[in-house]
Chains A and B, each alone.
Chain A
């Protein structure tokens, strides 16, 4: 899920403050063991998300998935460690996820990448290039759906040729097409003026 243009009060807060607060809140949640306080924080997290003017159609699937996963966690922990402990863990995780959604869905991807570059800037001492790592991250997110589409096309083609679910028959063309995409994308990066050398700080 990527944040579309958001106009809520949360969108106006700098990304660094939001993610810093999220980190602090997440750590604090693990220090709290009272289910009543965690329930209150869960309500607060839901209210925060509700105030974030997020498109709830976009959130429906992730929330459903989250509820299913946490349902499994509740049952497993309930059987192993007792139902109160399980409820506390699930309240904690749910509150943390809702706070995280509130932050990530009100922060543009560009702002997240800039924050990442700033946080990772000490890595320059070790010879790493945070801008390149940030670009790799963004491209991974960008191209996951593209690779999924290629995978489905290849599988469809193999089915049409009667090869069924043969992993080798799918993986070889998938790898070859992925390499072709990588090659074309590298060429596009060059054409669009991307310079792999670290950008001066004032240009970020």
Chain B
């Protein structure tokens, strides 16, 4: 799978006269990228810039040749997003129908939708959830369904915003395994530092900027040091 480069050029995001991110320039090429940092540091805003859920106040975010300012709809097909709270991401009352929802938005026909739903459920070993009502799922099952809904759309990059925050240890490990198995690029915003051990690159975000950018062990050590200061 050829992964498109994601590039931020002089990006600033401002809310209510406050800079949440300031003049960021970086390229994201690796397959596993972690983003860590304190609450309110700008991690979630940074993750939402990558598929156009948030547009920069100034500067440009490019995914391949496309910019989020002009092509956010196309980019969202290629950059999926898994939210912290899966309950609010599941739109339809039944699991299979929820996974088909995104496929319908892609304009796929009924047969193709059914095929992809079955294929994705099978890939994540959650075939048994297909006919379950969404509100009856446990937190771990909801997060798996949210991931399935994104995978089914076959994006080349998936951004995760604190995906394990609401999970117990067993579900957290299961979810971590699924992220490790993905062919797609995974960009994971997290406070769960263990997830990042096998990642290619970790960014430490503080006060609207990238404080450290490097290998996971170094980035985590830097973040711990910064947190204790």
What residues of chain A have their CB less than 8 Å away from a CB belonging to chain B? 2, 4-5, 108-110, 135, 138-139, 141-142, 145-146, 149, 181, 184-185, 187-195, 199-200, 203-204
**Cα distance A194–B101 when bound, in Å?**
9
Q: Are B92 and A191 in contact (CB under 8 A)?
A: no
Q: A142-B134, A187-B83, A192-B102 are in contact. List 4 more A-B contacts (CB 8 A).
A: A109-B97, A110-B100, A142-B90, A142-B135
Chief secondary structure at chain A's binding surface: helix
- Once A146-B87, A184-B83, A191-B80 are accepted as A-B contacts, the answer to whether A109 and B92 lie under 8 Å apart by CB is yes
> Which A residues are in CB contact (< 8 Å) with B91?
135, 138-139, 142, 185, 188-189, 192
Which residue from A146, A188, A200, A203 sits with its C-beta under 8 Å from B83?
A: A188
> Which A residues are in CB contact (< 8 Å) with B77?
193
Q: Are B85 and A184 in contact (CB under 8 A)?
A: yes
Interface size of B in residues (CB-CB distance below 8 Å)? 34
> Which B residues are in CB contact (< 8 Å) with A191?
51, 53, 76, 80-81, 83, 89
Q: Are A142 and B105 in contact (CB under 8 A)?
A: no
- Once A142-B90, A191-B81, A193-B76 are accepted as A-B contacts, the answer to whether A108 and B153 lie under 8 Å apart by CB is no
Q: Are B131 and A5 in contact (CB under 8 A)?
A: yes
**Cα distance A23–B198 when bound, in Å?**
60
**Cα distance A199–B80 when bound, in Å?**
21
Which residue from A4, A141, A193 sits with its C-beta under 8 Å from B102?
A: A193
Closest residue of B by beta carbon distance from A148: B135
> Which A residues are in CB contact (< 8 Å) with B83?
184, 187-188, 191
Minimum CB–CB distance from A61 to chain B (whole Å) comes to: 14
Q: Are A181 and B106 in contact (CB under 8 A)?
A: no
> Which B residues are in CB contact (< 8 Å) with A194?
101, 105
Q: What 1/0 flags go to B124-158 for Cβ under 8 Å of A?
A: 00000011011100000000000001100100000
**Cα distance A142–B134 when bound, in Å?**
7
**Cα distance A139–B105 when bound, in Å?**
16
Minimum CB–CB distance from B150 to chain A (whole Å) comes to: 8
